[in-house]
Amino acid sequence: MHNIVIIIVRSEGGDGLGFGTAKATLTCERAGKYRLRKSKVAIDVEIFTGTKKMSCPFRLQAKEHVGGGWSVVVRHGMHNHDLPNYNEGRAIIAKLKPHQLSIVKELSTSHVKPNMIMAIFKNLDPRILTTVKHIYNALQKLKTETMGVPH
């Protein structure tokens, strides 16, 4: 396993019927640049924002064939960053699923601590990539939703 997360940057066409009209561009999760919001002050983005964006040039182009099937062409096969050693805690693949969010909501109303909720998730699925930080974030989001504060 290489611990790389590939995301869809752009997709067009395609109706799932195999007419050969679908196209997709895939890239590394670290592609792109951090977009600084509302501030005109120059800062070192990597140090002060903790961004994972590194302008990674890795690109794949996928195209659907008539009758089904896909072809994938490597547009740029190199990454400009080291590959991670593990996937745990990575936002894209470790976020809580909807059924897990409902469990967090139910357990939090019973005053179960986040560490115990994490232990329950680990017992249910030992390969889970979620961390206790994701549970704290979910609890904060639930709290702001119940207070009626827009996020």
Percent of the chain with pLDDT over 70: 73
Nearest CA among 30, 102, 7, 22 for reference residue 70: 22
Task: Quick: pLDDT tens for 106-146.
Answer: 999 899 999 999 999 999 888 887 888 889 988 998 888 87
Query: What pTM, to 2 d.p., does this model score?
Result: 0.52
Q: How confident is the model at residue 67 (pLDDT cuts 50, 70, 90)?
A: confident
Q: What are the sequence ranges of the domains in the chain? A: 6-76, 91-147
- Residue identified by tokens 């080291």 is 82
